[in-house]
């Protein structure tokens, strides 16, 4: 026998797409149909919404007979629940629809199917009955599993918030702010893989300014607006959480394969390699907005399915607001520093002496067509940080200068810094980190607010290509 | 039904069973194994007896059944629809079919990240054998053509 439950009695992870839900329907002709649902949202204690991407038999049946029966699984215990639904209406706009649509768009763009694979409607159902399917599994003593949501190192949400908030208050520069924030998120809440991405000067792409838990591959990683989860969050300025990334991508790829067979793939773009863990199962991305402008994206990942819960999203939105405000404050302070910076730019100084042990010459090449700098044959940096590096190295070779100011970079029209919110200090942070990783013989050492020194360990050989 | 389909049905794909009662209220459950008959017109689908009460009552009422076979790794999915010709308790010698399926399903779900230990306590046996006469086959791999009748080509 099964006991009646409310839909809200089911563990939240049942609705996160990790273990897909089965849906049975029946046509007016009495012929049953059974398949998997793509996405299911819990709206309240009496309603759920199911995604409808294709006008398929399931949709035709619920329009005809109104009823559906779900078998919902707990991805941690594989316990099953029987849920009977009565179709109420479908929505093609509004908050449910938009929320579902954004998640589907994120997967569609990742799998190269933007516009091909999209949400047709969010179908709203009343919950008629909910039962646990008794005896679906043997009773066993211990149902714990590595699928359990992130075990927090927290001492309460408020403590974690206080800890992260305090860590963010201490940094003296924007680079330390990013690093301290990601460190605090790991220490206080246990998020081991996190990134902060900022929009570049084109306003069409984001680049990772700070990354934790990705080795050397995180910093500098790029993603276009509207591409994948992070790009969709940037474009839509709303948070997105995906709990079964692998499952969602497999579903998307299945549709892609099906479209390729029927159309020859004419409408499909290549699948986009995105920054992050190759085996990510959970992703959460939050927009950083200050003064009604997108200043970045905070992105977290986990190799565990259903690692992020609704409260994590709420918690991180508070943190994200603080990060955004801090980024904005640093950017404004940078400009103010420029105004106060009346000291003359350092005059020509003797070139920094290369240490005796340095026996090689750094061969750097600048490609004008895409503003890329290569160290020998290895890509170093591009776009604005690439142009900045090339200017500094060129000036050094021409005049021996080693000291530079942010202000002179801002005044140099050839660099193409945006007039508003140029994020120059963040660009310099990215450049410093790329140099540390890929070319430690060149260092940009801050000497005062808005000033830095170029330090070289080897002689330079600079060349340019079209 | 071509041999390729038989291979798919008898592998570790997810088997979903759909029925309905006299009032057209649908019922969904998981199957725990399948055997395609030599005539390729009939398929025996096994369901765990302990949770099949509604499904079996529906079958006794009207004999209508839909069975969906979905491969976890790539969502390759087919659905058969037909009438139930026989319902019986699975024989002792069929336990191997069900146990093999349980193992293959576990492999399939482990490939997509589920824990093997999670699936171990599934009550797949004792099972009830449901013999289905296949009337229609549909390709149901997600996509714009999902739900189209299968014409014998690649699914």
A220-255 per-position pLDDT tens digit = 788 888 888 888 889 888 888 877 666 666 666 676
**Alpha-carbon gap, residue A340 to A337, rounded angstroms:** 5
Identify which has the larger pLDDT, A26 or A187. A26
Q: Is the pLDDT of residue A149 over 50?
A: no
Min distance A54 CA to chain B CA atoms (Å):
6
Which residues does chain B have within 8 Å of residue A139's beta carbon, measured at their own beta carbons?
121
Rounded to the nearest 5°, which phi and psi values hold at A200? -85, -175
Mean pLDDT of all residues belonging to chain B = 87
Min distance A194 CA to chain B CA atoms (Å):
22
Q: Are A234 and A287 in contact (CB under 8 A)?
A: yes
Tell me, what's the pLDDT at A37?
A: 85
Q: Highest-confidence range of A142-156, A315-329, B16-30, by mean pLDDT?
A: B16-30
CB spacing of A77 vs B118 below 8 angstroms = yes
Of B30, B75, B113, the CB nearest to A305: B113
DSSP code at position A137: B
Identify which has the larger pLDDT, B54 or A427. B54
Tell me, what's the pLDDT at A132?
A: 92
Q: Which of A130-134, A180-184, A311-315, A395-399 has the lowest mean pLDDT?
A: A311-315
Q: Which of A241-250, A334-343, B104-113 has the lowest mean pLDDT?
A: A334-343
Tell me, what's the pLDDT at A353?
A: 44
**Alpha-carbon gap, residue B106 to A429, rounded angstroms:** 48
Q: Is A254 on the interface with B (CB under 8 A)?
A: yes
Instruction: Report CA A142 to chain centroid distance, whole Å.
Output: 35
**Alpha-carbon gap, residue B9 to B45, rounded angstroms:** 9
**Alpha-carbon gap, residue A355 to A456, rounded angstroms:** 9
Mutate to test the interface with A, among B68, B75, B140, B148 (most CBs of A within 10 A): B75
Region B64-92: mean pLDDT is 91
A26, two tokens = 């029946």
Q: pLDDT-derived band of residue B56, with 50, 70 and 90 as boundaries?
A: very high
Which residues does chain B have within 8 Å of residue A133's beta carbon, measured at their own beta carbons?
51
Q: Which helix (H) or strand (E) holds A122?
A: strand A121-132
Paired strand residues for A285: A240, A299
Mutate to test the interface with A, among B22, B24, B72, B108 (most CBs of A within 10 A): B24
Tell me, what's the pLDDT at A368?
A: 84
Which residues does chain B have within 8 Å of residue A246's beta carbon, measured at their own beta carbons?
112-113
Tell me, what's the pLDDT at B52?
A: 94
Nearest Cα neighbor of A38 from B94, B140, B64, B108 is B140
CB pairs under 8 A between A and B: 163
Mind giving me the DSSP string for A142-211?
----TTS------S-HHHHHHHHHHHHHS-SSHHHHHHHHHHHHHHHH---EEEEEEE-TTSSEEEEEEE
Region A39-67: mean pLDDT is 88
Mean pLDDT of all residues belonging to chain A = 80
Tell me, what's the pLDDT at A438?
A: 82
Which residues does chain B have within 8 Å of residue A253's beta carbon, measured at their own beta carbons?
74-75
């Amino acid at each position: 026998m099964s006991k009646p439950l409310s839909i809200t009695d089911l563990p939240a992870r049942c609705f996160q797409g990790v273990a897909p839900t089965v849906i049975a329907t029946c046509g007016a002709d009495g012929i049953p149909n059974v398949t998997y649902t793509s996405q299911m949202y819990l709206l309240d204690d009496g309603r759920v919404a199911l995604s409808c991407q294709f006008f398929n038999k399931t949709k035709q049946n619920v329009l005809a007979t109104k009823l559906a029966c779900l078998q919902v699984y707990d991805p941690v215990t594989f316990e099953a629940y029987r849920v009977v639904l009565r179709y109420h209406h479908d929505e093609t706009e509004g908050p449910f629809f938009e929320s579902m649509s954004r998640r589907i768009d994120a997967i569609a763009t990742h799998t190269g199917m933007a516009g091909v694979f999209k949400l047709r409607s969010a179908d709203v159902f009343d919950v008629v009955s909910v039962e646990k399917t008794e005896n679906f599994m043997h009773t066993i003593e211990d149902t714990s599993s590595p699928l359990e949501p992130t075990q927090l190192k927290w001492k309460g949400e408020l403590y974690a918030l206080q800890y992260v908030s305090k860590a963010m208050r201490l940094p003296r520069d924007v680079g330390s702010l990013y690093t301290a924030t990601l460190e605090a998120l790991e220490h206080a809440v246990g998020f081991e893989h996190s990134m902060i991405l900022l929009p570049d000067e084109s306003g069409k792409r984001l680049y990772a300014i700070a990354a934790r838990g990705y080795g050397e591959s995180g910093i500098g990683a790029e993603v276009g607006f509207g591409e994948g989860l992070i790009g969709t969050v940037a474009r839509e300025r709303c948070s997105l959480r995906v709990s079964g990334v692998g499952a969602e991508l497999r579903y998307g790829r299945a549709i892609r394969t099906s479209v390729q067979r029927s159309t020859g793939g004419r409408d499909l773009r290549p699948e986009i390699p995105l920054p992050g863990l190759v085996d990510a199962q959970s992703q959460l991305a939050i927009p950083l907005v200050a003064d009604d402008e997108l200043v970045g994206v905070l992105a977290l990942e986990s190799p565990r399915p259903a690692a992020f819960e609704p409260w994590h999203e709420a918690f991180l939105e508070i943190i994200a607001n603080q990060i955004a405000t801090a980024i904005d404050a640093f950017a404004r302070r940078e400009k103010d520093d420029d105004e106060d910076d009346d000291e003359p730019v350092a005059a020509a100084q003797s070139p920094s002496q290369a240490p005796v042990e340095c026996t090689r010459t750094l061969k750097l090449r600048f490609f004008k067509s895409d503003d890329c700098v290569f160290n020998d044959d290895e890509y170093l940096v591009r776009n604005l940080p690439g142009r900045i590096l090339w200017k500094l190295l060129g000036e050094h070779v021409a005049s021996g200068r080693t000291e530079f100011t942010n202000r002179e970079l801002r005044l140099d029209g050839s660099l193409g810094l945006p007039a508003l919110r140029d994020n120059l200090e963040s660009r310099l942070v990215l450049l410093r980190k790329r140099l540390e990783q890929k070319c430690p013989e060149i260092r940009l050492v801050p000497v005062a607010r808005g000033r830095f020194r170029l330090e070289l360990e080897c002689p330079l050989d600079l060349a340019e290509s079209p | 039904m071509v041999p390729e389909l038989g291979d798919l049905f008898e592998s570790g794909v997810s088997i979903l069973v759909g029925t309905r009662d006299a009032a057209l209220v649908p019922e969904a459950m998981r199957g725990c194994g399948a055997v395609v008959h030599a005539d390729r017109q009939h398929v025996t689908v096994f369901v765990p007896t302990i949770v099949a009460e509604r499904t079996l009552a529906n079958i006794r009422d009207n004999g209508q059944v839909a069975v969906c076979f979905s491969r976890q790794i790539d969502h390759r999915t087919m659905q058969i629809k037909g009438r139930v010709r026989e319902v019986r308790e699975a024989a002792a010698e069929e336990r191997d079919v069900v146990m093999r399926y349980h193992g293959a399903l576990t492999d399939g779900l482990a490939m997509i990240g589920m824990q093997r230990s999670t699936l171990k306590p599934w009550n797949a046996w004792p099972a009830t054998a449901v013999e289905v006469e296949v009337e229609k086959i549909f390709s149901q791999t997600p996509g714009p053509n999902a739900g189209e009748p299968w014409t014998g080509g690649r699914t």
